[in-house]
């Protein structure tokens, strides 16, 4: 969300306290929170965080490509025009509805830590007083999983040759593309903290500054890397010249990622997990991601009559915030690479456990929360979804973490390496403690909804620890409050920060509750009386895309919210 649009509750409090009435909206549709109409189309649809990427995805669909081809084409272009949230130096996750098998397939494309970096070496490098891994530089760099994810997903669900899928992004990288408003804002911020790292300035600020709104940005190095991938598939990235360039660069700059680390990487097909929320099956991927936190929250919320509480009420906001604290306590303790520490997912999502945890919610805000017996707030990402004429629907999320990643930018390749390794715990003996060859706890999560075993909606909401909170709010907005897919994303959002974290931090003071403009002043005062600490924030409320399948009318319904530069479009 832009700074101008993302006023927190203080502006609202000042106006309503002075006797002004709350806005009721002037849309004739009766959807006061919607900033625009839903998009309807019969043959295919794409919703991304940047309009050029949406148009590229539509072009691929019109040329006979599958929803997966369109998703990869859009993701590749976003790596050029939105490097503030994604790129092939990062990781990828996806949930795919396959109309042939009539089931959902999950893909975990997260990379592992360098094999040559032991816990002892890491602790020595960060220093004796450090409690977290630094966000920038060589230490948080893990193996990039995105390209392996592209090729694995394309091999299974693609129809067009990979070279044709990547051709639009290659063309734009060579000829240039104009940079849009919100992305330009974050590009400038990201460049300030990373321009000192070798190769970053040459790639992302070639004119000596970040691109401004409307500037044409070219990235010939990225075009060249994409061409190698188009010709050689995953080997064009994880073997040969690109892999060697990455390894040599890291070795020369205090890093540990090697050719062997890159060559050994493979993503993983996983089974999505779900809970039923009032007749709708909501699906997420299991850890090492945080998706099941959204499901744990929904399990608690279903024990209460949320619809009666109404959107934005003190009672609902309090309940939601406490449910979040409970889920995030478990997230801090249990969510990690299942190859090293398997979370008790079935138990955490069970009805019995939800009843037990729900009973802990009282009238006052909880200041500390223990996990059940069984810095993460920041992060920018891209989320996109696509759908084709054959019924395939793709929910895909991809990220560098912390926006533009580690700052480490190998020469001539056109991308920055991710800093996802910052999300390891430096204390030995915990589920998410650092180990060589381990996948860190992950924040990026795609989501999907089915109803009666049929596809209903691909959706996601980017933004660090905001994501599971946002996923749960979208579901509640649609199911309990009757919003359409556009209004559900545009409605004012709440984000709680300060929960216990998988990196070792422990909540002791209740954290902070951030509310966007649009919540009632009486509700805010009531929340304060309950012990919630209300705090102003800008830009932490995420960015959402969705495509719903209207089975009765046989049409797709798309949405892209106004907090991003994005667009939903179909044909």
Q: What are phi and psi of 8, to 5 degrees?
A: -90, -170
Ranges of H-type helices in 416-512: 466-479, 485-490
Six-digit token pair at 178?
């104009």
Question: Which residue, chain included where needed, has tokens 């062997």?
Answer: 260
Which ranges of 491-548 does DSSP label H, i.e. alpha helix? 521-529
Report how far residue 52's alpha carbon sits from residue 546's, in angstroms, rounded to the nearest whole number: 17
Q: How big is the CA angle at 31 (ends 552 and 528), to the nearest 5 degrees?
A: 125
Whole-number Å distance between alpha carbons of 204 and 186: 12
Residue-level length of the chain: 571
Residue 142 to residue 543: CA distance in whole angstroms: 25
Beta bridge partners of 202: none
Assess whether 503 carries a catalytic annotation: no
| Catalytic choice (151, 225, 381, 386) | 381
Q: What is the DSSP string of 234-289?
A: THHHHSHHHHHHHHHHHHHTT----HHHHHH---EEE--EEEEETTEEEEEPPTTB
CA distance 511 to 528: 13
Write the CA distances from 552 to 101, 222, 456, 478, integer angstroms.
Answer: 21, 43, 11, 18
Catalytic residue list? 381
């Amino acid at each position: 969300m832009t700074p101008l649009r993302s006023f927190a509750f203080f502006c609202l409090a000042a106006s309503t306290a002075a006797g002004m009435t709350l806005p009721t909206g002037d849309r004739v549709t009766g959807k006061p929170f919607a900033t625009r109409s839903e998009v309807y189309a019969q043959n295919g649809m794409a919703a991304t965080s940047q309009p050029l990427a949406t148009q590229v995805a539509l072009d691929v669909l019109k040329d006979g490509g599958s929803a997966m081809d369109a998703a990869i084409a859009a993701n590749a272009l976003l790596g050029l025009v939105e490097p503030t949230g994604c790129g092939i130096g990062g990781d990828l996750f996806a949930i795919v509805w396959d109309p042939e098998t009539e089931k959902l397939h999950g893909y975990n494309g997260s990379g592992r830590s360098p094999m040559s970096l032991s816990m002892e070496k890491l602790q020595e490098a960060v220093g004796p007083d450090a409690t977290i891994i630094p966000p920038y530089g060589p230490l948080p760099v893990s193996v990039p999983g995105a390209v392996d994810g592209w090729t694995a997903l394309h091999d299974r669900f693609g129809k067009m040759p990979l070279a044709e899928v990547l051709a639009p992004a290659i063309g734009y990288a060579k000829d240039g593309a104009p940079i849009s408003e919100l992305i330009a804002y974050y590009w400038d911020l990201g460049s300030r903290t990373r321009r000192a790292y070798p190769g970053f300035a040459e790639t992302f600020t070639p004119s000596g500054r970040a691109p401004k709104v409307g500037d044409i940005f070219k990235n010939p190095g990225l075009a060249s890397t994409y061409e190698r991938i188009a010709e050689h598939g995953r080997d064009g990235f994880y073997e040969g010249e690109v892999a060697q360039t990455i390894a040599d660069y890291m070795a020369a700059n205090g890093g540990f990622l090697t050719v062997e680390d890159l060559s050994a990487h493979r993503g993983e097909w996983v089974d999505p997990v779900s809970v039923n929320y009032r007749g709708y099956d909501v699906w997420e991927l299991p850890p090492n991601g945080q998706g099941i936190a959204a499901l744990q929250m929904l399990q608690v919320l279903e024990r209460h009559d949320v619809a009666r509480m109404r959107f934005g009420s003190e009672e609902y906001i309090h309940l939601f915030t406490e449910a979040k604290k409970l889920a995030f306590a478990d997230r801090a303790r249990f969510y990690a690479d299942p190859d090293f520490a398997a979370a008790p997912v079935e138990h955490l999502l069970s009805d019995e456990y939800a009843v037990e945890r729900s009973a802990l919610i009282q009238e006052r805000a909880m200041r500390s929360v223990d996990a059940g017996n069984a810095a993460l707030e920041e992060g920018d990402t891209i989320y996109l979804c696509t759908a084709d004429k054959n019924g395939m629907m793709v929910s895909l999320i991809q990220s560098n973490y912390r926006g533009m990643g580690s700052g480490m930018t190998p020469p001539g390749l056109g991308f920055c390496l991710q800093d996802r390794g910052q999300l390891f715990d430096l204390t030995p003996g915990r589920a998410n403690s650092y180990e060589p060859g381990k996948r860190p706890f992950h924040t990026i999560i795609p989501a999907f909804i089915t109803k009666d075993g049929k596809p209903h909606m691909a959706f996601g909401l980017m933004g660090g620890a905001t994501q599971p909170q946002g996923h749960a709010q979208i579901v509640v907005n649609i199911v309990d409050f009757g919003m359409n897919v556009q209004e559900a994303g545009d409605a004012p959002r709440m984000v709680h920060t300060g929960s216990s974290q998988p990196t070792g931090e422990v909540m002791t003071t209740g954290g902070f509750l951030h509310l966007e403009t649009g919540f009632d002043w009486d509700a805010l005062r009531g929340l304060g009386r309950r012990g919630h600490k209300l705090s102003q924030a800008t830009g932490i409320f995420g960015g959402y895309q969705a495509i719903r399948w209207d089975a009765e009318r046989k049409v797709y319904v798309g949405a892209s919210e106004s907090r991003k530069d994005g667009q939903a479009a179909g044909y």
